[in-house]
Amino acid sequence: MHSEEQLPLEKKIKTELAYLEEISQKRQLVTTNFAEQPWLMIDGRRMLNLASNNYLGYAGDERLKKAMIDAVHAYGAGATASRLIIGNHPLYEQAEQALVNWKNAEAGLIINSGYTANLGIISTLLSRNDFIFSDKLNHASIVDGALLSRAKHKRYRHNDLTHLEALLKNSSIEANKLIVTDTVFSMDGDFAFLEDLVWLKERYNAILMTDEAHGSGIYGKNGEGYANHLGLQNKVDIQMGTFSKALGSFGAYVVGKKWLIDYLKNRMRGFIYSTALPPAILSSIKTAIELVQEEPERRTLLQTHSEYFRKELTNYGFNICGSQSQIVPIVIGENEKAMGFATRLQKEGIAGIAVRPPTVPENEARIRFTVTALHDKKDLDWAIEKVSIIGKEMGVIE
Ligand code: PMP
């Protein structure tokens, strides 16, 4: 073969990339500065940050930064090994103790990221012949965990309990069954119907797992999550969540019964075969868990901002996908139009990111706005007006 000839794989990949370009789905990395602040910088341009998951503003918090810096000075930069070898730093015990106290759980485990948590938990607990029932809008890491498990993967229509019940009825009585759901859906910003899911899991002998990535820190009296907000924390068998969003840091957790956590420590490959988190991350996790309980006013402020933002955009006629939270999408439709909308926003000084399929369904490309406790109401007003002007110009609203 001549060196200039393309290998079949190279040809296939280049064709696919060209296709992604053609359908406006090719992704590009954009260098961003100050993402932890309410105003960020992209390409030297200052923009209002309506795109981060830093819901409570802790990512730029001086106390969190200090906790990390002190840990680096005291313990070094890296963990040097996986937890089961020599990477189980004393800060793990302290952070996990803070976690189980906060969540009032029997046992808990810190996992390197939310993605590996979902992948690992689901694929470790379920296997061939088991059943996984998963909301259509669940995060990709849940979908991937289900695929890796090789269990029978049944995806029910978003929040459609009738569909879920029909699928449950069709599964074998003896089989292990897992129902899994985001509590706050990451792209629509609406909530799962947890009361109904608890009822169904009890009726059909299933276990229930929740992903509180967008609920941790925000809902519940002490920010424990959306299940606590509803008083259902003891009905959810496996609660997973992340420290990378409202808690401003990085990493993830799972809490549940001791036997469950013990099993994960023994069998979860992403836990066993991956280097432990650096001490600085553990220190920031521990600090964030403390702060989130001590500062309920941030939650209140976030709720006020979210409610206002949702109400104003709805009044202008935008379709916000039934959002009930700090995640407020506006549906644009075609990919190209959503990209055009995002470009116009950025020109006006607003960072609102276009989300396209496969992250969201076809023809439902959207701008996913997120508000935070750090935003200034004046800035939100300014942004809402700009968004409405662009919306009218582009024919998204009348
Ligand atoms: N679950 C949900 C619902 C998420 O939105 C995300 C983050 N996008 C994750 C899991 C993954 O978490 P992490 O970013 O910590 O890997």
Domain coordinates of the chain in residue numbers?
22-56+296-393, 61-294
238-242 and 252-256 as β-strands: parallel, antiparallel, unpaired? antiparallel
Quickly list DSSP for 262-327.
Answer: HHHHHH-HHHHTSBPPPHHHHHHHHHHHHHHHH-HHHHHHHHHHHHHHHHHHHHTT---TT--SSE
* Tens digit of each residue's pLDDT (9 = 90 or more) over 175-203: 999 999 999 999 999 999 999 999 999 99
Q: For domain 61-294, give the fold.
A: Aspartate Aminotransferase; domain 2 (3.40.640)
Over pLDDT 90: what percentage of the chain? 94
Q: Is 212 in the pocket of ligand 1 (CB under 6 A)?
A: no
Q: Is 113 in the pocket of ligand 1 (CB under 6 A)?
A: yes
* Tens digit of each residue's pLDDT (9 = 90 or more) over 253-300: 999 999 999 999 999 999 999 999 999 999 999 999 999 999 999 999
Closest CA to 331 of 358, 380, 369: 369
Q: Which two tokens stand for residue 103?
A: 């969540």
The answer to whether residue 3 scores a pLDDT higher than 70 is no
Q: The pTM is what?
A: 0.96
- Let me know: does 183 contact 191? Beta carbons within 8 Å: yes
> Scanning the structure block, which residue is given the tokens 């924390």?
233
Q: Is 163 a catalytic residue?
A: no
Closest residue by Cα to atom 12, ligand 1, is: 114
Taking the centre of ligand 1 as the mean of its atom positions, its distance from the CA of residue 13, in whole angstroms, is 27
Quick check: helix, strand or coil at residue 375?
coil
Return mean pLDDT, the chain. 96
Q: For domain 22-56+296-393, give the fold.
A: Aspartate Aminotransferase, domain 1 (3.90.1150)
Over pLDDT 70: what percentage of the chain? 99
**Amino acid 359: pLDDT:** 84
Res. 357 pLDDT band, cuts 50 70 90? confident
**Amino acid 2: pLDDT:** 63
Res. 23 pLDDT band, cuts 50 70 90? confident
Q: Is 211 in the pocket of ligand 1 (CB under 6 A)?
A: yes
Res. 1 pLDDT band, cuts 50 70 90? low
138-166 mean pLDDT: 98
